[in-house]
Structure 1
Amino acid sequence: MRSALSAFNEIWQRQFRSDCLSQSEDFSEQASFLIGCSGGVDSMLLLRLMSLLYPQKIRAIYIDHQLQQPSAEWGRFVAASCTALNVPCIVQKVAVAEGNLENQARSARYQAYQQHLLPHEVLVLAHHQQDQAETLMLRLLSGAGIHGLAAMRQLDQRAGMTIWRPLLNLSREQICQWAAELNVQNIQDPSNLNTEYDRAWARAELWPMLQSRYPKMQQAMSRSSYLMQDAEDILADVLAQDLVSCGTSDRLQLDRLQALSKSRQRQLLSAWMKGQDQYRPAFEMVQRLIDEVMESKTDAQAALHWNGYYYLRFAGGLHRLAASAYAASQHEQAAPQCVKIQLNQIFNALAGRFQIQAEDGFGLSFELLDKDLLLTQRQGGERLHLHGRSGSWPLKKAIQQAQIFPWLRHRIQILSIDNVMLGAFTPNGFWLAESPYCVKAGWQPKLVSSDNSKIGSSS
């Protein structure tokens, strides 16, 4: 027992504590641990070791995917083992969505982990060296780049979680030896032998063949993953600089983007499209963004849809727009409304939130306050005589000159009374029209924020 415990304690000192000190001085001392336990030999060994070394700082969680008949029984086994070790245990059932079963089960599992993690609690998982090598191999066969080939990190940050994998450098043989030394009991999951799953197939069919030719393949592939992690860190630094130079999470400036090398363009676009999600788009999707949107004609209305967002080109920029906002621009309609406006009121138009303010300069006559005014959505073909300009202009031309995004133009609304146009609510502010009601020292709506989509209401 002493040998396994002392070796694991050395892993704690070398891996977790030293790495956490780089985050904050006291993080490693304050941290507690939530151990993901499947009931297999790896996670049950991890549970035993941590219960012996840090008995007051751990909890365990078993995720029941409800995909196999004995899954509830396995949960009871894990819970009973935790009770014997005086370790609090959570048994959480999850529903696995349709699609790739392995990916969907993993997604459901991590969502459950995130749901139960407490502040300063670290998720501890029992992945080992063969898991790492298998992950790298499967991702290589799927055409992954540096991000995918970096595989799993010993200490990882993901979606607000800190994940620690203390067994990642240990072989399965070493884990089984320690488990025998500590008399660790475990269950056998038959799905690990089901070669319909990619990982089980690779382990049963591909792995023995490759290892017979390359006996040290596991160590070599694990080392490659660490080299890819270094490359990923360097690339992340470059991408952060390129993003600052080229734009924001919502818009990239095309001239600056296209001044980069082709490879840096592809990498920046891939990371930009990924956003806050876990996975990057496929190489083919990035290339489609370049071919169909970036390199489309200037007047083209090209739009690429991927993973809940639309990507569009406009006014020298490449824009990332939520699918809901894009759909609204195609279909959102607001019925004409009769509205009353009061001084100092916050008025919510389609284009945003406006505050009604008195003006020293020109504005609308105070006699219009509390009167029935008509608010109508732009239909097209309207002409507007803007205050300070000579003659009336097509509203479309004024919108184009103001470079209002095409996907926001449906939010423009006309304010009028008795067929006299008073002005227009736009995402750029209120445009005052010349009319008999346009007077010096009147009032005007001032744009407060453009993120409100309520129509004609006040607060």
Structure 2
Amino acid sequence: MPDLNPQIIAALLPATCRRVFVAYSGGLDSTVLLDLCAGLPSLTGKVVAVYVDHGLQAASAAWGEHCRRQAERLGVGFQLLQVDAQAGGGESPEAAAREARYRALRKLLAVDDVILLAQHREDQMETLLLQLFRGAGVSGLAGMPIVSVFGKGQMLRPLLDVGKVDIQRYAQVHGLQWVEDPSNQSSDFDRNYLRNDILPLLKQRWPALDKTVARSARHCGDAARMIEAWAEQALPTVFDPTDGSFNIADLSAFTAMQLNCLLRQWLGHIGLKPPSQAVLQTLVEQLVGGRGDTAAQVYIQGSFIRKYREKLYCIPVHRLQKDTQAKRWMQEQEQMPLSNGYVLSRSTASAGLSKNLWNSAKVTVEPRRGGEKLKLPGRTGHHCLKKLYQEAGVPPWERDIRPLIYLDGRLAAVAGLWVAEWAWLSAADGCYQLNWRAPESV
């Protein structure tokens, strides 16, 4: 391997790079990474060292000051972020700290920004082995990618093919100063146990272990990308972008293995993390292959997967909450936020609910209570909402949370669907169209 030099950074940076954030803990690896960035003339004025204070160590504030001083010495920007890294129920301290750190860092990046992380070849080896012990598939065994999308920008790991010994040599030659985190010596954490107790023994027998394991990670990465490319190409055959659903009406063209790939791709497409094999098996057994029971559901990452009319839907739990109280819609309000995150809005239209009726009435938004009827324009007789929902293919869980609009106590509209005949009008700019939309985030 050639001497470690700033060109290893320059080779990865996109031509449109605007700002370069460096995740800087003050430790050996990130200190070397920051020094390499500071040595690139093309990055003058663009580099910002970011120290994330997790608040888990008594010395964390002092480490932050060390990082600030080092950034000033190198002539680069500095930013300190404080995060709450307390682990929740069933979450490991390591995972909680990582998630908190990534959430904070993700918010920093705008389009054409990058963030650099200092993970090296031994870190990649540890990641692959930990994934192996957890029973991961090829995506997990691919380890960490050198380049990945991160927020609005990119995450780069320029040292991922660099050995720890090369990083140590660079730091010694350049007289760098760094801090040592005493928790790294504790083998209570899985990664530290592997690093401190297991890998030294393995390397006595296989000295080039970090190189060969990293090579395996690259092979798994190639395989994972091929699988993902196939799943991305096949997903449109089962994915409905209008409602985000997964169509299970005809899966005869896919094997069981391919179906699992498509389900993973679908869940990732709508913003969830890759599910475990156990979750996938439950989805297939209870929903894909199960009877048409609309009450069946599978909980995953704060959402429920439900089935209706040969489609799977992913609904965040908070979206299933029903507003139980009537609300006054004031005349000056263009939109009304609801407690479950949905938003009601009105817009001028040439057909819809009469503006004159709206402007002269007391407008209220009320929940469905059961037994409501509507007479629709152009149809004879009054129809129960239950039958109208069934005709329109509205999923059962949506029927209870979709709000109803009343004018002076009389049902005038179902938000986003129908207007009663008595309130309906066709006149240029003389009507309101009522929209009901979900929050954008899953």
- The TM-score bracket by the shorter chain reads 0.7 to 0.9
For residue 205 of structure 2, the aligned residue among 193, 206, 213 is: 213
Quick check: 1:335 aligned with 2:331?
Answer: no
Query: Could you say which residue in structure 1 is the equivalent of 2:275?
Result: 281
Quick check: 1:399 aligned with 2:414?
Answer: no
Q: 1:179/1:407 Cα in 2 relative to 1: closer, same or farther (>3 Å)?
A: same
Contact 2:365 2:403 in 1 (8 A): no
For residue 307 of structure 2, the aligned residue among 297, 308, 313 is: 313
Q: 1:205/1:396 Cα in 2 relative to 1: closer, same or farther (>3 Å)?
A: same
Deviations 1:280-312 (A, max 9, x none): 222212222222222332244212222122211
Shift of 1:16: 0.8
Query: Could you say which residue in structure 2 is the equivalent of 1:34?
Result: 21
Deviations 1:291-338 (A, max 9, x none): 22223322442122221222111122111222222122xxx324397x
Give the distance between the partners of 2:179 and 2:330, measured in 1 at CA. Answer: 71
Quick check: 1:409 aligned with 2:399?
Answer: yes
For residue 198 of structure 1, the aligned residue among 190, 210, 229 is: 190
Deviates more, 1:272-281 or 1:83-92: 272-281
Quick check: 1:126 aligned with 2:118?
Answer: yes
Contact 2:30 2:118 in 1 (8 A): yes
Shift of 1:52: 2.4
Contact 1:127 1:167 in 2 (8 A): yes
Give the distance between the partners of 2:269 and 2:122, measured in 1 at CA. Answer: 30
Aligned letter for 1:185? Answer: Q
Aligned letter for 2:417? Answer: N
Unaligned runs of 5+ in 1: 21-25, 454-459
Higher radius of gyration, 1 or 2? 1
> So what's the TM-score if we normalise by structure 1?
0.79
Query: Could you say which residue in structure 2 is the equivalent of 1:71?
Result: 60
Quick check: 1:47 aligned with 2:34?
Answer: yes
Shift of 1:262: 1.4
Deviations 1:201-239 (A, max 9, x none): 001222123323333221111011112222222222222
For residue 451 of structure 1, the aligned residue among 427, 437, 442 is: 437
Give the distance between the partners of 2:9 and 2:212, measured in 1 at CA. Answer: 24
Aligned letter for 2:26? Answer: G
Give the match's secondary structure for 1:89.
strand
The two structures, once aligned, show a CA RMSD in angstroms of 3.7
Give the distance between the partners of 1:347 and 1:126, measured in 2 at CA. Answer: 46
Give the distance between the partners of 2:372 and 2:238, measured in 1 at CA. Answer: 37
Give the distance between the partners of 2:63 and 2:76, measured in 1 at CA. Answer: 17
Aligned letter for 1:325? Answer: R
Query: Could you say which residue in structure 1 is the equivalent of 2:419?
Result: 430
Contact 2:287 2:307 in 1 (8 A): yes
Query: Could you say which residue in structure 2 is the equivalent of 1:11?
Result: 8
- The within-5 A match list for 1:282-301 is 282-301=276-295
Give the distance between the partners of 1:179 and 1:195, measured in 2 at CA. Answer: 25
Aligned letter for 2:12? Answer: F
Contact 2:354 2:432 in 1 (8 A): no
For residue 381 of structure 1, the aligned residue among 365, 371, 374 is: 371
Query: Could you say which residue in structure 2 is the equivalent of 1:23?
Result: none
Q: Structure 1 vs Structure 2: percent identity of aligned residues?
A: 26
For residue 104 of structure 1, the aligned residue among 89, 96, 108 is: 96
Give the distance between the partners of 1:273 and 1:220, measured in 2 at CA. Answer: 32
Contact 1:122 1:161 in 2 (8 A): yes
Give the distance between the partners of 2:366 and 2:26, measured in 1 at CA. Answer: 63
Quick check: 1:265 aligned with 2:262?
Answer: no
Give the distance between the partners of 2:55 and 2:196, measured in 1 at CA. Answer: 24
Deviations 1:64-119 (A, max 9, x none): 22222222222222222222222332233322122411111112222332344465
Residue correspondences, number? 426
Q: 1:182/1:392 Cα in 2 relative to 1: closer, same or farther (>3 Å)?
A: closer
For residue 48 of structure 2, the aligned residue among 38, 59, 68 is: 59
Shift of 1:173: 1.3
Unaligned runs of 5+ in 2: none
Give the distance between the partners of 2:365 and 2:286, measured in 1 at CA. Answer: 38
Query: Could you say which residue in structure 2 is the equivalent of 1:92?
Result: 81
Query: Could you say which residue in structure 2 is the equivalent of 1:322?
Result: 316
Give the match's secondary structure for 1:78.
helix
Aligned letter for 2:404? Answer: Q
Q: 1:391/1:156 Cα in 2 relative to 1: closer, same or farther (>3 Å)?
A: closer
For residue 170 of structure 1, the aligned residue among 141, 144, 162 is: 162
